[in-house]
Amino acid sequence: MPGGQAMAASAAEVPFRGEAGTASLGRYLDACATAPPAPEVLIAMAEAGERAWANPSSLHGPGLAAADCLERSRWRMAELLDCRPEQLIFCSGGTEAIHAALLGTAAGLEPGRLVITAVEHPATLAAADQLRRRGWEIAPLAVDRRGRVRLELLEALLTPPTRLVSVIWGQSEVGTLQPIEAIGARCRAAGVLFHVDAVQVVGHGPLAFSALPVDLLSFTAHKLQGPRGIGALLVQPGVSLRPLIGGVQEGGRRGGTEAVVLAAGFARALELAEARRGASGGRDCLAGRRDHLWQLLRTMPGLRLSGADPEEPGARLPHHLSLLVSSEAGTPLSGKGLVQALWREGFAVGSGSACSSGGGAQLPQGAPSPVLEAMGYAPAEAASGLRISLGPWVSGEELDRFPAALERSRRQQAERAGAG
């Protein structure tokens, strides 16, 4: 797809803005927080907006055109994800998809036990808290130092009264991929429903929903260069799901007028992601760039990898690196301070989940990451995390400049902390 590659390459030169200034989009290394919409996605949405602006539930001509556009998007996404169109429910994003999966299935069950990992996204924790208030027991599944679930502990948690298991497939903060097939096989054998948060995985690896031992799978558009405001939930046949929002839309499983234009952008974004993987032999094209960056960073002072080894096949998200940063004397430095220092260098990176580290989050600035603490790191280390996540807009030339910018930022932070 030479045209698409050319557009993505030119997009790397477009400036993006923040409170501290501007920088080339080629220096935006925070794809796990959100991705800039692809030019092709914006075109698809503009075209859909011209012809499919009506309510898709209306029976007149404009309504039928909108319904046709919506269903074409659903059918195309179902084809790419290897599921039937009626298994795909559009919703407002990953957070709603996760809540719909857990609260929607729990609504038809007697209160029991929900098993979640110790490294879940805040959206899953919020849904679990709602279930707790409804009489459910919440049981955390421990992880090892890499953030990978300890499978040997799962069997005991799948006994009654466990009714639901929810696992984040690709951990957004440390990049570790969970053994979904092994977990799903154990859940099937125990007769327990299994939900997977695939927000960071869809578009970066093969996904055939019909072949997975997974009952419900949630994901969103804006992580793969689609629009914000739309996500999806895949549901296996026979799984009972009560709507969070009443209404007749989405087969009676999610009320509210469907976002037809956003769905068109979602489908196009997924098409682009799958086309890139196909052109790279089924592997995410970003893996090579990530591996190159890791080779530049791995011998630098004060940097340690967190999460799974990038060189272990299938162990980590292919576009993701996460580091623990310290002074040369070994004193952990503030990850959030490093994010701000790197932005002064023109690079946008992350520290922790974007949904738990922003100004409106519950965690105070400088607080240790609950994910890193669950992995066994001391509080000071758990506050020193830095996340680098790549997208197809990233410029290779700019990426080669990142290590020097990180080293300057690290030294500045060490001097400010008096850590030497």
The closest alpha carbon to 1, from 399, 396, 286, 273, belongs to: 273
User: CA-CA-CA-CA torsion for 247, 249, 252, 256, nearest 10 degrees?
Assistant: -40
Annotated active-site residue 83? The verdict is no
> 69, 83, 91, 355: which is the annotated catalytic residue?
355
Token pair listed for 343: 């932005």
- The Cα 120–Cα 133 span in angstroms is 19
76-to-73, 79, 94, 311 alpha-carbon distances in Å = 5, 5, 19, 33
Type of residue found at 208: A
Find out whether 366 and 383 touch, Cβ atoms under 8 Å.
yes
User: CA-CA-CA-CA torsion for 146, 282, 225, 353, nearest 10 degrees?
Assistant: 0
102-to-72, 89, 134, 145, 371 alpha-carbon distances in Å = 28, 14, 12, 27, 21
- The Cα 382–Cα 370 span in angstroms is 8
**Directed axis angle between helix 335-344 and helix 396-417, to 10°?**
120
Find out whether 173 and 372 touch, Cβ atoms under 8 Å.
yes
Token pair listed for 146: 């890499």
- The Cα 69–Cα 252 span in angstroms is 19
Residues designated as active site? 355
